[in-house]
Chain A
């Protein structure tokens, strides 16, 4: 099974500053036949279900603000939130969908400094 490890567990960022969350997979989630990274990022606010932000490691879901971006390939990935807004306070999760089981990372809590 692929293990997803996120870091840090939590971070506090000032409004308008950049937040970066890392996600590392125990094996590559890059599928050679289509050259796609089978990785997604989700945002979960308190009392709400998760919301898809990024799929294929760097494709932004429709309606997601462009301050959210995903990067990386193979085993190392980053979710970047540029110019953090108050409404971005949430827990963020990465998930691979390369081969079942499609495990999630442990989550990163983003707060305002």
Chain B
């Protein structure tokens, strides 16, 4: 059974940084692209970023480019999202998600999410 467990969320001040992690089990992590998707409280889904199975390529939403860095450690079956220069608009539940294959595939598994709150 695929399991994705996010961690690292919390309260951070505007301008601050946070690093999210996602521990993956139940599948061959190195075979699949992974994504981050966020959901502001009471709002819809926002795609954040995707990384290829090898970690050789990453793609970001326009609003995250230059501020967020996605990476993975296939030896540890772990996905990361480094978030810098955070603003109130980044407040959301952040989901770790697994693709059905490469980056241009649908998301077939989701974690429960980790909440990031940006506030002074």
**Contact surface of A with B, Cβ cutoff 8 Å:** 1, 38, 40, 42, 44, 49-52, 55-56, 61, 91, 93, 95, 97-107
Let me know if B103 and A100 touch, CB within 8 A: yes
Jot down 30 A-B pairs with beta carbons below 8 A, ordered by A: A1-B62, A42-B45, A44-B45, A49-B95, A50-B45, A50-B95, A50-B107, A55-B100, A55-B105, A55-B108, A56-B106, A95-B45, A95-B47, A97-B105, A97-B106, A100-B50, A100-B59, A100-B60, A101-B59, A101-B61, A102-B47, A102-B50, A103-B47, A103-B61, A104-B45, A104-B46, A104-B47, A106-B44, A107-B44, A107-B45
Question: What does DSSP make chain A's interface, helix, strand, loop or mixed?
Answer: loop
Q: Which of A44, A52, A101 contacts B47 (CB 8 A)?
A: A101
Q: What is the bound-complex CA distance between A99 and B47, given in angstroms?
A: 12
Q: What is the bound-complex CA distance between A91 and B42, given in angstroms?
A: 12
Q: Which chain B residue lies CB-closest to A54?
A: B106
Q: Which of B44, B60, B105, B112 contacts A104 (CB 8 A)?
A: B44
The CB with the most chain A CB atoms within 10 A, among B46, B60, B105, is that of: B105
Q: What is the bound-complex CA distance between A106 and B40, given in angstroms?
A: 12
Q: Which of A56, A93, A97, A98 contacts B44 (CB 8 A)?
A: A93
Q: What is the bound-complex CA distance between A95 and B39, given in angstroms?
A: 14
Sort A-B residue pairs by CB-CB distance and give the 9 closest, nearest first: A100-B59, A49-B110, A40-B106, A55-B106, A107-B44, A104-B45, A101-B61, A102-B47, A52-B108
The CB with the most chain A CB atoms within 10 A, among B35, B60, B100, B107, is that of: B107
Q: What is the bound-complex CA distance between A46 and B83, given in angstroms?
A: 27
A97-B106, A101-B61, A104-B45 given. 15 additional CB < 8 A pairs? Answer: A42-B45, A50-B107, A51-B110, A61-B108, A91-B44, A93-B44, A95-B45, A95-B47, A97-B103, A98-B104, A100-B50, A100-B60, A101-B47, A101-B62, A104-B44
B37 contacts across to A, CB distance below 8 A: 50, 104
How many Å from the CB of A47 to the closest CB on chain B?
A: 10
How many Å from the CB of A31 to the closest CB on chain B?
A: 8
